[in-house]
Amino acid sequence: MRTSKFFRVEDARKFKKQLQLWSGQFTEIIWLDTNEYDLKTGEYEAILAVEAFTAIRTDHENAFDKLKEYQETTADWIFGYLSYDLKNDVEDLSSRNFDGLNFPELYFFQPQKLILVKDDQIEFQYLKMVDDEIDDDFKTIGSLKSEFSKADTAVKVTPRISKEEYLKKIEIMLEHIHRGDIYEANFCQEFYAENVELNALDIYNALNKISTPPFAAYLKLENFNLISASPERYLKKKGNLLTTEPIKGTARRSDDPVEDQKIADELATDPKEQSENVMIVDLVRNDLSRIANKGSVKVDELCKVYSFRQVHQLISRVTAELSDGIPPVEALRASFPMGSMTGAPKISAMKIIEELEESKRGLYSGAVGYFSPNGDFDFNVVIRSILYNSDNSYLSFSVGGAITSKSIPENEYEECMLKAKAMREVLSDI
């Protein structure tokens, strides 16, 4: 079905920039980049998929069934996203909050042209109909300049709710927790701008430069753009092994190495941050146990500190063996939405989230990734991300955090501002 051809390049980082520049001509683009992180367990350093041959876009109604049919029928590489609001397909829930972005709730495509980067080796996998273009495309890509332009108009974002409203909503969330309705819930707030005109790929590169996360993504599907500096893996399948790496626990970085290490050490032993993480690990284990071989769900890593350019994070790793006969899409359905973006108990948390949040999450706290032809997959969690609809000129990003009985509203607000820092910096500096 595909023609594969390998090339070697002298400077893989330069070639990656050239790939991104070359991709700008296409209507459908997904760029996934691990930024060479040691903690990654990805199969490739970077992947570029462009130019749809087939595609599926739909709302939440029977979305996972439609995706399952598309993935099995195509039996090829497919790339795309799952929005948070597919929760309404998985459970008897709804999404009635304001939506300025109007993204489809699920969108996947089968690329005509696929380019895989691993070290200095570049693999081109093209559908037969365009495989005569491989050599010319490789030469064209290698001849491009590797510098990105810089926009000169800053974007001023506005919070959907004020700080005072945020603090009141956290108090209400805490009342639910103290009543025993939930143990933990992820509460998010939106920042937005209207009448925005920008080059989303330029913004992606600026954000990636200051964040360099292991699950970065740039997506353009028609007029729908995602600029993601995500540090979090949602779920990966390789063979029958499932891996998820939930993040709960955030602390700032310091330019002073001694202070920075102290901050990381304090995060590692902070009882509030640890309890957040452990509750989500338990939720994830429960989700995976429904589709895993008995006794195969394991916590390989619990509450380990990983340091990124902007923040320190507490990350855990949970693995499981997928039971025989369970289709790949069912592994996603059984664990969606990811526990780190919902809470525990999961359904109760999602209901309360819907009541208290003012904006429809959409692609934020959903997932972006791919299926390979053999049914393996890898998806990130869409956080630390900017969403942009170039048709209605609406731009948005959201930030949030886990609320537990130990949460202090003012501290939760400050954590949100810390998570928003890189995105605000990029938008104000363009």
Question: Each residue of 258-317: pLDDT tens digit?
Answer: 999 999 999 999 999 999 999 999 999 999 999 999 999 999 999 999 999 889 999 999
Number of H helices and E strands in the chain, helices first, is 11, 20
At 113-162, the pLDDT tens digits run 999 999 889 999 999 999 999 999 999 999 998 777 666 668 999 999 99
Q: Please state, for a pLDDT cut of 70, what percent of the chain lies above it.
A: 97
Residue 98: per-residue pLDDT: 97
Task: Answer yes or no: 45 catalytic.
Answer: no
Residue 395 CA to residue 418 CA, distance in Å, equals: 20
At 74-112, the pLDDT tens digits run 999 999 999 999 999 999 999 999 999 999 999 999 999
Residue 37: per-residue pLDDT: 82
Residue 146: per-residue pLDDT: 75
Q: Find where tokens 């049914």 sit.
A: 375
Residue 380 CA to residue 236 CA, distance in Å, equals: 9
Q: Is the pLDDT of residue 39 over 60?
A: no
Catalytic residue among 113, 248, 346, 419: 248
Q: What DSSP string describes 338-393?
A: PGGGSEESHHHHHHHHHHH-SB--TTTTSEEEEE-TTS-EEEE---SEEEEETTTT
Of 425, 421, 12, 20, the residue nearest 199 (C-alpha)? 20
Residue 143 CA to residue 122 CA, distance in Å, equals: 15
User: If you average pLDDT over residues 373-400, what whole number do you get?
Assistant: 97
Give the pLDDT band of residue 203 (cuts 50, 70, 90): very high
pTM comes to 0.96
Of 336, 379, 376, the residue nearest 75 (C-alpha)? 376
Tell which wins on pLDDT, 40 or 359.
359
User: If you average pLDDT over residues 168-186, what whole number do you get?
Assistant: 97
Do residues 139 and 146 lie in contact, with contact meaning Cβ atoms separated by under 8 Å? no
Residue 193: per-residue pLDDT: 97
Q: Please give the CATH topology (third level) of the domain spanning 2-243+326-428.
A: Anthranilate synthase (3.60.120)
Tell which wins on pLDDT, 193 or 119.
193
State the burial class of residue 10 (Cβ atoms within 10 Å of its Cβ: 0-12, 13-18, 19+): exposed
Of 210, 232, 203, 430, the residue nearest 310 (C-alpha)? 210
Residue 38: per-residue pLDDT: 61
Give the pLDDT band of residue 36 (cuts 50, 70, 90): confident
Angle at the Cα of 375 from the Cα atoms of 369 and 378, rounded to 5 degrees: 25
Which of 64-68, 167-171, 309-313, 394-398 bottoms out in mean pLDDT, i.e. has the lowest? 309-313
Give the pLDDT band of residue 40 (cuts 50, 70, 90): low
At 43-64, the pLDDT tens digits run 899 999 999 999 999 999 999 9
Catalytic residue among 232, 245, 273, 354: 232
Task: Answer yes or no: 248 catalytic.
Answer: yes
Of 187, 256, 238, the residue nearest 379 (C-alpha)? 238
State the burial class of residue 257 (Cβ atoms within 10 Å of its Cβ: 0-12, 13-18, 19+): exposed
Do residues 300 and 261 lie in contact, with contact meaning Cβ atoms separated by under 8 Å? no
Residue 151: per-residue pLDDT: 60
Q: Is the pLDDT of residue 11 over 90?
A: yes
Tell which wins on pLDDT, 24 or 149.
24
Q: Find where tokens 């933990």 sit.
A: 184
Q: Is the pLDDT of residue 360 over 80?
A: yes
Domain ranges for the chain, please list them: 2-243+326-428
Bridge partners (DSSP) of residue 368 are: 81
Do residues 394 and 196 lie in contact, with contact meaning Cβ atoms separated by under 8 Å? yes
